[in-house]
Structure 1
Amino acid sequence: MDRQQISRIAHADHPIAAPLDDDSVRRLLDRAVPGDGARVLDLGCGGGEWLLRALAAHPRLTAEGVDLSDSALDHARAAAVRLGVADRLTLHRQDAARFTAPHRFDLVLCVGSTHAFGGLPATLAAVREHLAPGGRVLVGDGFWERDPSPEAVEMLGDLADLPTTLGQVTAGGWTPVGGHISTRRELDAYEWSWTGTLAGWALDRPSDPGRAQALRAAGAHRDEWLGTYRDSFGFLCLVLRPTDS
């Protein structure tokens, strides 16, 4: 199995591929979606869960998602058909950093996909090009809640602490109008779901050729989480508006 297949299995029981529970997702979308007739873009949409929830809640909203994973986009299409929102969802198989559109969007999302642009400041600079006047951004990224070990930095990258992260955002010309810091419960629930769902899939399929690989991946991820970054990693979502029109 490749990484995309492993990720799809691991997220089956936690379709929001980030450490947020359903109530947190709902509150963020309530804060971020500017109106029922909004046009929404998700850069790095994965299985499209943010867009699907926004479409279900707003009958006149239209949405577009961008991702490189064929399997994730297929999942989003099938889910959109089941929910009856497929006619309002357009999906693009493309590098999010190279995506262009003939129109702008009232809300642009990029949650857990800032690596596609090279980090949070670069993501926000790119997102601005897609934003309609009066629009909003919903972005989610990691930060260091406590001083990380060198192993954690090597694994998760050059993140900043929370005040520095907010400083980067405001220095880039953005004003937070909402947000959410994932709780310890949300962070742990996400990791237990990721590792447990993947391991359970493998245990339910003793003859599957991917069984051993899935068990190894689940065990390695669990060890990295508990032994390397659990005590230092945090996750922040922000609803932003441009400071200057």
Structure 2
Amino acid sequence: MDRDKISQLAHADHPVNSPLDDESVRRLLRRTVGRGDAHVLDLGCGEAAWLLRTLVEHPDVTAVGVDNSAQALAKARKEAAALGVERRLVLHHQDAAEFASDRRFDAVLSVGAAHAFGGLLPSLDAARGHLAPGGLVLVGDAYWEREPTTAARELLGEYEDLATTVDRVVGHGWTPVFGHISTRQELDDFEWCHTGSLATWALDHPDDPDSADVLDAATTHRSQWLRGYRDSFGFLTLVLRRTSG
């Protein structure tokens, strides 16, 4: 089955494609988009949930989103039109790591998209190239809350513990000015929404040729989460400024 379709179905019932609830998203955006007339970029925007919320909240903000999923961007455009913010949103269908612009942005977002750049620090390098002087970066990525099993590492990749993750960011030339560590409830809600949305769609569409594959994807993901990484996976979102330069 098409991977983009699986992703869209899995995240249909969650506010953003990261383990953050509505209040956390609101607080992080308030800390990041400080000016009413800010120009905001989201690298790896998916369905542009972060940008749409920002545009609704701030009627003078303009935004640019970049993602390689045509389906996600199509949904973002439809939602932007429904919200009446489409004239202030530009979406680019391309790899976020390859995006180039002569414009510098007051805020650059990249939450849960580090894989598109090859890791957290490369994603910060990309953000820095688009950031206006004094601008803010909102970045979110995983860390190991506890020592993971070998299976968890093989499934999710290599991360560090929380303190080491922050130290690496600081050592790379950034200063955290705000942050959020996803709670157990946020982490669990995200996974239940992921697997539940897939399962619900499959059960509601038993005659669809993709139904069995979608239900299998839900079952596999739920098992990997509960048996593999639930007790070790954490998620950190930081608001950053350049330490110098």
TM class by smaller structure: over 0.9
**Match of residue 167 from structure 2:** 167
| TM-score relative to the length of structure 1 | 0.99
**Match of residue 84 from structure 1:** 84
> Does the Cα contact within 8 Å between 1:34 and 1:136 map onto a contact in 2?
no
How far did residue 134 of structure 1 move? Answer: 0.9
How far did residue 27 of structure 1 move? Answer: 0.2
**Distance across 2 between alignment mates of 1:205 and 1:73:** 24
- Cα shift readout 1:150-201 (whole Å, capped 9, x = no counterpart): 1101111111100110011000110000110000000000000100111000
Provide the secondary structure at the position in 1 that maps to 2:27. helix
**Match of residue 73 from structure 2:** 73
> Does the Cα contact within 8 Å between 2:19 and 2:187 map onto a contact in 1?
yes
**Match of residue 121 from structure 1:** 121
Provide the secondary structure at the position in 2 that maps to 1:207. coil
**Distance across 1 between alignment mates of 2:205 and 2:118:** 38
**Match of residue 31 from structure 1:** 31
Question: Which structure 1 segments of 5+ residues have no match?
Answer: none
Provide the secondary structure at the position in 1 that maps to 2:227. helix
Runs of 4+ displaced beyond 4 Å: none
- Cα shift readout 1:24-65 (whole Å, capped 9, x = no counterpart): 000000001020100000000000000000000000000000
Q: Write out aligned runs for 1:89-100 (5 A).
A: 89-100=89-100
How many percent identity over aligned positions?
A: 61
> Does the Cα contact within 8 Å between 1:15 and 1:47 map onto a contact in 2?
no
**Distance across 1 between alignment mates of 2:99 and 2:16:** 22
**Match of residue 43 from structure 2:** 43
How far did residue 79 of structure 1 move? Answer: 0.4
**Distance across 1 between alignment mates of 2:225 and 2:110:** 23
Provide the secondary structure at the position in 2 that maps to 1:190. helix
- What amino acid is the match of 1:77? R
Question: Which structure 2 segments of 5+ residues have no match?
Answer: none
**Distance across 1 between alignment mates of 2:123 and 2:11:** 24
- Cα shift readout 1:97-156 (whole Å, capped 9, x = no counterpart): 010011110000000000111101111112111000110000000000000001101111
Q: Write out aligned runs for 1:10-21 (5 A).
A: 10-21=10-21
> Does the Cα contact within 8 Å between 2:15 and 2:22 map onto a contact in 1?
no
Aligned length: 245
**Match of residue 208 from structure 2:** 208
